[in-house]
Structure 1
Amino acid sequence: MNKNSLRTYLSSSYQGARSFLEHIIHPIFGKEHFADEYEAEILTNQPEYEGLAAAAGIQSIKQVGKVYVGVEPLQIFDITVGSQVHMARNRVGIQQLIRRIMDTHSLAFMLFHYEDGGAESQESWEWRFTFCHKGASQTDTTSSKRFTFLLGPGQHCRTATDNFQRLIDKRGVVEVKDIEDAFSVEALNKEFFDKYRQHYATFVEYITGKRYVKGVSGKRSKSPSPMPSYGSSSVGMRSVYVIMSRSY
């Protein structure tokens, strides 16, 4: 699968856990390293989760399988939410359930989606990918690191595509740090502002005929003369910010 196909897949409605394994898990970790849990239903086997699940509007939690990242098992969960749940807004109840699940796991990929055939609007076909990691030194599950992306129709999925592609390019040699680096907020912010500066420089050059050039010392230099100050180009900055935000 090339990068364009990957983005098309992530921008599509949820196609099931097996499809996610085929398109994401196997290319990243290798099919031979996947241990199947045959979608065991956790709410049946561990009824202590039922209260939190009901409060969060969650209908089913299936343990799809696991792969080992170094010595740590990365669990993969398929989680069905009710039609009353707003995927982009209902975070508190879902986070409480995630913390509870992570009491007994250190590493997990979680796939949140609506029940098949239960969607009446484009919003209802959205699905959420969450990566959770609780390090060995983290005794409190509330400190688990969580990285979440909203996927599906109507979502650009550019950043998620780039992140998964970085892991796929590792060709099976993936460590926990690689996954954290791919989805970390710091990395995403750096990528965003690097591209923002490029777009802004092009925008200013188009308007003024002058190009922003970053010197070795990190200071702005002229090419052929200094660009206007940020204060004098606030409208331009806002315009570029809107363009960049929409592209993600």
Structure 2
Amino acid sequence: MHGDLADLSGRRVVITGAGRGLGSVLATAFDTAGARLGLVARSEAALDEVAGSLRGEPLVCPGDVRDAAFNESVAAHMVERFGGVDVWIGNAGVSPGVSPVTETTPEAWREIIDVNLTGTFLGARAAAAAMGPGGRIIVTGSVLGARPRAGLAAYSASKSGTQALVAALAQELGPRGITVNAVALGWFDTGLGAHWRRDTERDTGIVDHTALRRWGTPADLPGIYFFLASESSAYVTGTTITVDGGYSLL
């Protein structure tokens, strides 16, 4: 870390869900900070587009985070290319439109739980096997994990599950010097939340329910991930940090 607690240069960072939305924002931010990146998403074309916009030469890993062997291969490729993994950001996620429980199909439920929760677990599992002391596992959560919303039962359950997963993994991996934390995001005007903003009624309701009276922007995102990825957070683990502009307060 070159003596600077906030220095990210040279850090070997995996970002899942990096092909679009918040994941691509994080990829750009960590690249600018000098990290060496492994980018993960299902779409190879989307990953190539993101990678092409970066200054560095990231490792591009198209595949499905629900596949244990794929996650392990990402870790192995990071070790081969960069010599290890310092930070694993489990950011891949899916969210459907609002759907009453009676209209939520078992298939939709399984996909959301499998990507958001099982995929997060499998990524953390692969990361833990490849990391040494000082490793950082960071999970992208949601305020809906603590404050579920009607019509989003599967999504809310998946994000609540990730918070419990983080707490359990922090206890297990702490003796090895690996920290595990979650970032519970509020409503951001990109990625999974973008289609919500196009609905005027929902847009107004969310803004009125947020203390800062606005949606989150890409500029609001990287700072907390930088903190959790750096030596500045060496004594922070098992925590869910909320970044929601005060949505949870009202």
The structure having more radius of gyration, on CA atoms, is 1
User: Which is bigger in relative contact order (C-alpha 8 A, separation at least 6)?
Assistant: 2
Compare the two structures and name the one with the higher strand fraction.
1
Bin of the TM-score, shorter chain as denominator length: 0.3 to 0.5
